[in-house]
Structure 1
């Protein structure tokens, strides 16, 4: 008997290396993280999420299979958080080097990374270092994700992936797109991480 396919497991396993690499460019869990680090993090996330969410929100195939990407946008949360911190979100650069969402499977692979960030955000929110704990409930909408509905909304997304990514070919497309999403995110974050490190060295 052939075992049931588990595309979510393969997506997790086959992107784990890039997930870990992406985390190296996020400083907000470091013990010495500052408000400036947090502002940079929010701006970087907005610059990457907003254009990618525009793409997913316009993807008719996603809506047809029951994934309403336009209703799951995180960029409004980022805009709100930045506004609380006195930043103008309209001045934040947007990433132009985005992963492909040409096929339904690839769009779901991209969405896997963005939806997975809601689970990671809840973990980060609980582990914020001392200098950032004062922001909880004030400028942490993005990290809070869907709040108490986060688990249920992840399970609903997972059900769509399991149902739709049902062939070897679709699974491979989804994994390729998820890896590209992480890779483009790393490429987007890396120069910002270097700039933050340079500013720290110059201040010391």
Structure 2
């Protein structure tokens, strides 16, 4: 999840998003089993299935949202296709999996940006996690680990371009609050969903 380095020149919405989600972000990271001794292919597969249940639901909602800011290429940033590829490689039919029924509110431009901040930030740790899964389970982008390296070598550039886009969207104080609330809700609802799927430590 997000690990951006903030400078005083960055707009306040970025600082507010980072500080507002920090506690939830750290708490969730501690419960994810990627570096646990208990992680085996079975748990990893169940974890990806749980991720799919959340990402499929939230990306579908975003795809139908009227609040995506103009100029944002949502299709190019969807993570569900990579999750589907991984699950199929691990002999799981994504169409049989449950989807998260409770999503953060996405009823304004600010709230949509808050959700996107969390989803885009989640790709930053993917390279570290990808190496862990490669070493521990012997998986790569072709046999079950495409999601963790969804942007490949462009991960840093994609994050930077998202921050630049976010910086250019005019948000007033209410919009900033909506962004932070939606980002926090995304973290908390994601954690509760993963907990229900019994894949957290």
Asked if these proteins are the same fold (TM beyond 0.5), I'd say yes
Q: Distance in 1 between matches of 2:123 and 2:139?
A: 18
Query: Match for residue 193 of structure 1?
Result: 198
Q: Note if 1:135 corresponds to 2:156.
A: no
Query: Match for residue 49 of structure 1?
Result: 55
Q: Distance in 2 between matches of 1:96 and 1:3?
A: 39
Which of 153, 157, 176 pairs up with 1:152?
157
The list of structure 1 runs, each at least 4 consecutive aligned residues, that deviate by more than 6 angstroms after superposition, is none
User: If you compute each CA radius of gyration, which structure gives the higher value, 1 or 2?
Assistant: 1
Q: Note if 1:12 corresponds to 2:23.
A: no
Q: Note if 1:74 corresponds to 2:79.
A: yes
Structure 2 gap ranges (5+): 1-7
Q: Note if 1:161 corresponds to 2:166.
A: yes
Question: CA contact under 8 A between 2:58 and 2:103: conserved in structure 1?
Answer: yes
Equivalences, count: 193
Please give the TM-score of this superposition, normalised by the length of structure 1: 0.86
Residue 45 of structure 1 and its aligned partner are, at CA, apart by 0.6
Cα distance per residue 1:110-149 (max 9 Å; x no partner) = 01111111112222112338432x1023211100021112
RMSD: 2.1
Question: CA contact under 8 A between 1:77 and 1:141: conserved in structure 2?
Answer: yes
Question: CA contact under 8 A between 1:25 and 1:193: conserved in structure 2?
Answer: no
More helix by share: 1
Please give the TM-score of this superposition, normalised by the length of structure 2: 0.87
Q: Distance in 2 between matches of 1:51 and 1:4?
A: 31
Structure 1 gap ranges (5+): 198-204
Q: Distance in 1 between matches of 2:125 and 2:59?
A: 18
Q: Note if 1:84 corresponds to 2:93.
A: no
